């Protein structure tokens, strides 16, 4: 498996608009795009070759909404960009690494994503992403 870069660092937030304004006003960052995937709203802010991804649960029952009350706002996961997500998942599975997603699913910006089981990574939630051609 070849990890190309840290594609993004995801931060769970309670108030998407306030967090977006903070990144814009305090750090001069410009949002590249915003989208909703199921019960999750996200906004992507480029920083060099990486992104800060703000995640906002549409409801308290969403994966983000459930995370914020007990843990508070903050780091949610780290995403590694890979060339071949199917191959990466097969390699990890062969090594005995637990997977939350055995097959890729649709992700941000048309990517294919999968999450590694935090029990296999010292309680770090790690996402793998294969970006669409030309991205």
What single DSSP character describes residue 100? S
Residue 68 has pLDDT above 70, yes or no: no
> Cα separations (Å) of 4 from 19, 59, 84, 85, 102?
28, 33, 11, 12, 21
Please say whether the beta carbons of 126 and 77 come within 8 A.
yes
pTM: 0.84
Interval 72-125: pLDDT, tens: 677 889 999 999 999 999 999 999 999 999 999 999 999 999 999 999 998 889
Cα–Cα distance measured from residue 10 to residue 23, given in angstroms and rounded to the nearest whole number: 14
Which of the four pLDDT bands, split at 50, 70 and 90, describes residue 47? very high
What structural domains does the chain harbor?
A: 3-130 (3.10.180.10)
Nearest to 80 by CA among 89, 90, 93: 89
């Amino acid at each position: 498996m070849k990890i190309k870069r840290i594609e993004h660092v995801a931060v769970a937030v309670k108030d998407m608009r306030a967090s977006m304004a903070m990144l814009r006003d305090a750090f001069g960052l410009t949002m590249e795009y915003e989208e909703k995937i199921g019960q999750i709203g996200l906004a992507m802010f480029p920083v060099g070759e990486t992104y800060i991804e703000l995640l906002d649960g549409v409801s308290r029952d969403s994966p983000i909404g459930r995370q914020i009350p007990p843990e508070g706002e903050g780091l949610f996961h780290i995403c590694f960009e890979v060339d071949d997500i199917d191959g990466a998942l097969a390699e990890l599975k062969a090594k005995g690494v637990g997977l939350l997603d055995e097959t890729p699913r649709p992700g941000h910006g048309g990517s294919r994503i999968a999450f590694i089981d935090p029990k296999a990574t010292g309680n770090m939630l790690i996402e793998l992403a294969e970006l669409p051609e030309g991205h």
